[in-house]
Amino acid sequence: MCVGDIANAFNLSQPTISHHLNILKGADVVKSRKEGKQVYYSLNQDNIQECCGMLMTKFVSEMPYTVEKEP
C-alpha cells in the first residue's frame, strides 16, 4: 500500500505514517518500492515469520507442561 492509503486506513496523517514506516523499514519489518512519485510498502514476510517463530519458541519453551493420565 502507499502511504496515503495506509494513512486513510488508520485515520492518521501521512507524516505520522511515513515516520512509523521508516522505523519499521529500518527494522526490516517492511519493504518499499518506488513507482514514480509513489512509494509502496509491504510486509517483509520472511522476517515476520522468523520473528514470530522465535517469539513462539520462547513462550513454548518456558511453559510448564503437565501430562494428564486418562482415568
Q: In this predicted model, what pLDDT tens digit does every residue of 9-23 receive, in sequence order?
A: 999 999 999 999 999
Overall size of the chain counted in residues: 71
* From 16-20, 28-32, 37-41, 54-58, the region with the lowest mean pLDDT: 54-58
CB 28 within 8 A of CB 44: yes
According to CATH, the topology of domain 3-62 is Arc Repressor Mutant, subunit A (1.10.10)
Angstrom CA distances, 61 to 23, 47, 49, 51, 66, stand at 30, 21, 18, 15, 13
Q: In this predicted model, what pLDDT tens digit does every residue of 50-62 receive, in sequence order?
A: 888 888 887 776 6
Confidence of residue 32 (pLDDT cuts 50, 70, 90): very high
CB 13 within 8 A of CB 20: no
CB 9 within 8 A of CB 48: no
Prediction pTM value: 0.68
37: helix, coil or strand?
A: coil
Residue-range domain boundaries for the chain: 3-62
